[in-house]
Structure 1
């Protein structure tokens, strides 16, 4: 009965979402130029019978964005923004897990099929158990978020319904489809485990990931439209088609950043699950299974985390290109301290990831040849971390400013601007990758004849990369007008 309840709740919720959006779509919120062609022709035949109705339809289609005042928002006694933020953040956490886990489950399942090793299949199946549990919670928070937005921000949601139109219904139907695919994929695992049925199961996994990725990019378009609207005129009236509304300047950067971040986050969460199960295991066999599961999870998380800052750089570059004021507000204005907190968290994640890699290496005999490198990597990481979190300015009193001789410290001031921070974070990424590489090589021995030449080439690549990062950061950051 427990599994039946898990199966039914997201299905019923998705049906409810379709019904609600269908009701909203049938009302005045739905612009006729996004209805299907056959329906639009009927509407045109019935409603645009006179010149007056045609003029009113044109006026509706070019309705400007609402400009509500404070009195137009419902007063619920607490901050509406805080309510929506908390619910949206929880929905995002669980949604990232639900979208990410099937991605690497599909890869692991393919590995099991190609190698014939049943351990891969068992591990992939257990990964999906985590995703299936999170899916019901994701649906619950998603429905709560939609309700909160319509109740607390009715003008905004009416405008978004006008701008995106039928895309909202498509999203609801895709959510319903993902619910069906997810449960068939998980509960049909054993029934489709062998023979040609396995390929049917793998195809279902591929389709599930395709639907999930589509849901993600559609939801991203709503967020980026609010940040950097496209397909509208200077007063916010919708003048473009649905593709022009969706494909704003920040859409693809957000898509890439969220896709990579979901994988890193999902890998870390299932790694934590595997660590708990390993500690709670009562047999050596179970302990070995969950230890391997944790190893695989952390491998996925670290591998996905390494390119994530570059996706973040692209996103912020596009934000500055769209609106320099928006970028300054985010990184140097009212939200600047959030970036300091984020910097601390990123540095902490990198150092924790390195520590995990070093601890994992210590279990193998071959790691002894790399032990001498660890202390130097640690020193570089700590120095770069300190530079990374150094603020450019502080809130100072007049006496403190006089004691410093200005608002910036003469030594620490230059470390608080982006050239120094770019150098620091890129060096942290390079040395994290170095830890990852020696972690992967610690239990292996090179047998090729060109071993020395290959190692020399790898050392040269690292040296050239480090010199290039430092030179480019110092020269273009401090000595050129950029």
Structure 2
């Protein structure tokens, strides 16, 4: 015991020391930003799965009850088991971020945000308690309430509502940091310009993410399964997860465009930074990654049908070629320089065929919008064609190649989540609260946001 006390005493002494009075400076600030950014990314990757499982799990249980399919019930039960295991990991990271890193590095900022967003954070705390409680009840009462399925599904419905509200309260805080409104008006705080599109965007993203994630998990379990019944279940569940993930992702181009439009209207400097500034190469990577995800999913559809000789594999191969061409169009940069300002400063803001560094085919309107439309239309056609061929599929006969694709989809989705989070959080720079508080020194400012020229 004395050895344990001697080991932890230095750590307790550091925790008892006075917190720094100023925000990190210079290289220390960069290190602090990297630490917080890395942990937040890890937290979001785990919390997004937990939140998505809390919303999709009860829906799958209800679907199984309506269709009287045991596979759905088994899948929903597995998602409940996942939630009970991984709540603690996500919570531990969030507590470390809030109580140590944010308070220690940017204490003035965090105190300000808690003061402004006290009600959303208060509600978030209680919805989190409700979410955790309902998740454990939903999972552990599965067998005891099997004869009372309606009651059990009602508990699942409450879990889905609590999961949504918990994320929504966090989104109010995150959206306020990008598009701040009058902090003394709770209604305007909750309905700030980017609150609604961010909530829809993130909810759909979490639902897609959990689909791709349990698809990848089932792929791993399929490769390790020896029982034909288990192989058939994991083959089916992997396909279902991918289908669900693609169906949710199909809505993201429309929701994402709406979100970007609100940022343009209410935080123009952030929008400009994403489209023409230092974040434009990363935004270009994001739209390219979306195409890669649709291509990968279409390849799975085609391979899975071809394995069992089901109809439609050839047409799906053509669709993947169409998606590849669309991705090449979407990946074209508008300015052939790091930022548009660099190109303009060099006097080269003219088309490349006139000796400049501007590529008109890389402009957002109309070309990238057209690319997003073709992404959506071709992916919808791929999903429909895959569903048409499913009656010819024998579950349990999939090959290793299809399982690798399912695992790759989960990795691509994680890359997409981290990329989108990086863009959103860094678009506010040099502000912690857009136009209100700077990162450097946590200084309050009343400088207005730049507005677009008429």
Same fold (TM over 0.5): yes
Alpha-carbon contact 1:106-1:202 (below 8 Å) kept:
yes
Per-residue CA deviation, residues 257-304 of structure 1 (Å, 9 max, x unaligned), is 001101111100111000000001112111111111111111111111
User: 1:326 Cα shift?
Assistant: 2.1
Q: Is the 8 A contact 2:120 2:170 kept in 1?
A: no
Give the CA deviation at 1:172. 1.6
Task: Call closer, same or farther: CA 1:115–1:384 in 2, change over 3 Å.
Answer: closer
**8 Å CA contact retained: 2:222, 2:235:** yes
Match 1:426 to one of 373, 376, 400: 373
* 8 Å contact kept, 1:393–1:407: no
* Structure 1 unmatched ranges of 5 or more: 1-69, 232-237, 446-481
Q: Report what 1:122 is aligned to.
A: 74
The 8 Å contact of residues 97 and 134 in structure 1, kept in 2 or not, is answered as no
1:166-177 counterparts in 2 under 5 A? 166-177=119-130
Deviation, 1:159, is 0.9
Which deviates more, 267-276 or 280-289? 280-289
1:15-164 aligned at under 5 Å gives the runs 72-74=22-24, 77=28, 79-147=31-99, 148-164=101-117
Q: What is the match of residue 262 of structure 1?
A: 206
Q: 1:169 to 1:425 in 2, by over 3 A?
A: closer
Deviations 1:98-149 (A, max 9, x none): 1111222212211222333333212211122223222121111111121211
Please say if 1:223 is aligned against 2:165. no
Write the deviation string for residues 379-415 of structure 1: whole angstroms up to 9, x where unpaired. 32121111110111223998x9999642236xxx121
Partner of 1:408: 357
Give 2:331's aligned residue.
Answer: 389
Q: How many Å separate the matches in 2 of 1:191 and 1:274?
A: 27
Report the Cα distance in structure 1 between the residues aligned to 2:111 and 2:230, rounded to whole angstroms: 53
**TM-score calculated relative to the size of structure 2:** 0.75
Alpha-carbon distance in 2 for matches of 1:170, 1:394: 47
Q: Which segment drifts farther, 291-300 or 72-81?
A: 72-81
Structure 2 CA distance for aligned equivalents of residues 169 and 118 of structure 1: 39
Distance 2:139 2:47 in 1: 17
Number of matched pairs: 363
1:306 CA drift (Å): 0.6
For the pair 1:202 / 2:146, whether they are aligned, the reply is no
Give the CA deviation at 1:349.
Answer: 0.6
> Once the 2 structures are TM-superposed, how far is the Cα of residue 87 of structure 1 from its aligned partner?
1.1
Q: Is the 8 A contact 1:364 1:442 kept in 2?
A: no
Is 1:178 the counterpart of 2:123? The answer is no
Higher mean C-alpha deviation, range 158-167 or range 70-79: 70-79
Tell me which residue corresponds to 1:239. 184
In structure 2, the CA distance between the partners of 1:332 and 1:71, relative to structure 1 (3 Å rule), is farther
Q: 1:321 to 1:299 in 2, by over 3 A?
A: same
- Conserved? CA contact 2:55–2:159, under 8 Å: no
Q: Supply the distance in 2 between the matched residues of 1:291 and 1:154 (Cα, whole angstroms).
A: 49
Q: CA shift at 1:428, angstroms?
A: 2.0
Distance 1:270 1:346 in 2: 19
Q: What secondary structure does 1:72 align onto? A: coil
**Contact conserved, 2:298 with 2:319, CA < 8 A, in 1?**
no
| Paired residue secondary structure (2:307) | coil
Q: 1:371 to 1:239 in 2, by over 3 A?
A: closer
Name 1:46's counterpart in structure 2: none
Q: Tell me the CA shift for residue 375 of structure 1.
A: 4.3
TM-score (norm. length: structure 1): 0.71
Which fold has the larger relative contact order, with Cα–Cα distance below 8 Å and residues 6 or more apart in sequence? 2
Say whether residues 1:342 and 2:286 are aligned partners: yes
Contact 1:103 1:209 in 2 (8 A): yes
- Tell me how far 1:222 sits from its aligned partner: 0.4
2:266 and 2:254 map into 1 onto residues whose CA distance is: 18
> For residues 406 and 299 of structure 1, what CA distance do their matches in structure 2 show?
46
Instruction: Go from structure 1 to structure 2 and tell me whether the alpha carbon gap of 1:379 and 1:120 turns closer, same or farther (over 3 Å shift).
Output: closer
